[in-house]
Amino acid sequence: MSPSQIIVLATPVFLALIAIELAVGIRRQRNTYHLADAVSSISLGALSQTSAVFTRLLRIGIYTALFEQVALWRNDAFWTSLPGWLLALVFYDFCYYWLHRMGHESAVLWAAHAVHHQSQDYNLGTALRQTSSGALLGWVFYVPMALAGVPPLVFGVVALIDLLYQFWVHTEQVGRLGWFDRWFCSPSNHRVHHAVNDAYLDKNYGGILILWDRLFGTFKDEDAQEKCVYGTRGRLDSWDPVWANAQVYAGLAHDSWHARRWGDKLRVWLKPPGWRPADVAERFPKPAFDIAQMPRFNPAMAPATRWFACVQFALLLAGISVFLWHADSAPLAHNLAWFAALLAVQWALGAVVQGRIGMLLALMIEAGALATATSAVGWTEWHWFFKPLAMVIAIILIAFNALSIGDKSQFDAKPWATMVLALVLSLAGDVFLMRNGFFIPGLVSFLGAHLAYIALFRRGVPWFAHRGAMAGTLAVGAAMYAFLWAGGLPAALRGPVAAYVLVIALMAAQALGRAQVLGSSAARKVAAGACFFMLSDSLLATHRFVQALPMAQFWVLSTYYAAQMLIVWGWLRNPSPLQADATPGAGAPECAAAIPAALDHPRAVATRAG
């Protein structure tokens, strides 16, 4: 049985224990859960497991190679005896202590580990909140075990034991445990580790044994007079799983890029978290951390959104379980396609919960992701269902938003009708391109869609307002057309394809010019969508007329749905170019519904840095 399958089997146990902790907290009137935070934490844990399918070489492969080549002492019989197993577990926990400690003392390692600390809650759900990038450098700390000759099987088992042990210590429902707290990592000890209070910061790194902290001077006892405040001092303030993993890396890259001294560019990554070159700190100042001034990040959710999030989350966990169960026997290309689809669903769920997008836009994203994945793995019948569904949802989304406009005296139906026309023509193009022998009708349909988009992007702004953008897109289009011609573009298609290339280049130029004039994030999303359209069509034409591309359907469809999603999202945020951006959640009417709010309680707690 693979490690991924073990995680799948353990997941119901984790969820059952989370449910028990929730029930105990509610009964004691000390509930430590918020719905959005719990969904985010468990989703990040799931992402760490799905991404681990591709990083197993770093976690186990490098260890195995080192064991085979440089082990100083080989005695498998000893390591598989009871004393050997116990010694290996203690050895692993010792190495883990130093990995964990350096994860707080070196910025590049903290960038990976910070994900686990971002939650402002402390509960069993937080235990599942794990990094997706820890394997990149974490394997280095276990090299001593390979040198000592600990077999890979023993290493893998004790690693799993050490990880599973740490699940139960993430709770506020278990108090002090007397002598146990003196020797082992316990809930009390680990609460201190997760706190950002000055007195508690960077303490108690032990995984199973707290003995290491006592030996190396990093132990701190929990003080009943100082309540732990959880999270990180660099606020995340987001339910986006991608940004949660990238936030610290992005900050380090920013400071490294702007540092004037070459030595500082490197030191940014190696120094303790929070260290910044003096010149960077002066140009880009950050406010000093104040534990009393850090509000809880918990955007309000309508009842319908809560229901939607719960259902989507249940379906997401089911999909992830199926993926993990079959991942070790599936082709790499299939794993990549399904991983990307699951990640898109996770991102959409986080965006809905945060109020960045509405439910219908999330469904459009998910349908597009499933259309892409089912095409990439050859599930033709399901692909034929999801591909048109994505655009049908987009059309419904636009129609609902048009109908929901309250002030009909100010309502201009023309741009809304133009947007619907572009989406209907895109839907027709999708259907035609799914059928053999209908390439020309599909090309004509998308040509009409792009013309409609050009007309839409023209409203309220000049024609091709950014001349450089127009010259650039036309140059890219001309280069692409020359490439297709040289690659064997059929003579009968040279005219239609030339017209298509010209129109899509002009669409991108108009969208880029619109973004330049309006200067809004909504207009930039639309412009990015237009550029993704150019990329998608270039990939499709290259694959069809020049050379077959690996995973062509995946790349063509993923960029196509990214284009449509960005255009719809950006346009709905600001359908009138004469107004400022609409509210982030615009574009998804909420239906009335009721839901128990046990996971979204109003308990007053000490807030902390996100």
Q: How is residue 584 annotated by DSSP?
A: T
Instruction: Assess whether pLDDT exceeds 60 at residue 590.
Output: no
Give the Cα separation of 31 and 351 in Å (integer): 25
364 within a domain of the structure (yes/no): yes
421 and 398 within one domain:
no
258 within a domain of the structure (yes/no): no
489 and 536 within one domain:
yes
Confidence of residue 202 (pLDDT cuts 50, 70, 90): very high
549 within a domain of the structure (yes/no): yes
Confidence of residue 576 (pLDDT cuts 50, 70, 90): low
Give the Cα separation of 257 and 265 in Å (integer): 7
486 and 442 within one domain:
yes
442 and 339 within one domain:
no
186 and 60 within one domain:
yes
59 and 38 within one domain:
yes
Q: How far is CA 559 from CA 99, 206, 339, in A?
A: 38, 44, 16
466 within a domain of the structure (yes/no): yes
Give pLDDT, residue 582: 47
436 within a domain of the structure (yes/no): yes
Structural domain ending residue among the three candidates 378, 406, 434: 406
**What would the pLDDT profile of 341-353 be if each residue is shown by its tens digit?**
999 999 999 999 9
pTM to 2 decimal places: 0.88
478 and 393 within one domain:
no
Residue at token pair 């349909």: 445
Do 458 and 419 meet the contact criterion of CB atoms below 8 Å apart?
A: no
> Buried (b) or exposed (e) across 116-136, using 16+ Cβ within 10 A?
bbbbbbbbbbbbbbbbbbbbb
Q: State the residue range of the domain holding 37.
A: 3-241
5 CB neighbour count, 10 Å cutoff:
15
Do 432 and 445 meet the contact criterion of CB atoms below 8 Å apart?
A: yes
Give the Cα separation of 45 and 241 in Å (integer): 10
97 and 231 within one domain:
yes
Structural domain ending residue among the three candidates 201, 226, 241: 241
**What would the pLDDT profile of 443-468 be if each residue is shown by its tens digit?**
899 999 999 999 999 988 899 989 99
Q: How far is CA 406 from CA 66, 120, 340, in A?
A: 67, 38, 38
Structural domain ending residue among the three candidates 344, 378, 406: 406
Residue type, 65: A
317 within a domain of the structure (yes/no): yes
Residue at token pair 């499933």: 370
158 and 47 within one domain:
yes
Rg (CA), the chain: 27
428 and 325 within one domain:
no
In the chain, how many domains are there? 3
142 and 63 within one domain:
yes
601 within a domain of the structure (yes/no): no
- Averaged pLDDT of the chain: 90
151 and 63 within one domain:
yes
Instruction: Assess whether pLDDT exceeds 90 at residue 32.
Output: yes
The SS3 of residue 68 is helix
**What would the pLDDT profile of 513-568 be if each residue is shown by its tens digit?**
999 999 899 999 999 999 999 999 999 999 988 988 999 999 999 999 999 999 99
302 within a domain of the structure (yes/no): no
Q: How is residue 289 annotated by DSSP?
A: P
**What would the pLDDT profile of 275-290 be if each residue is shown by its tens digit?**
999 999 999 999 888 8
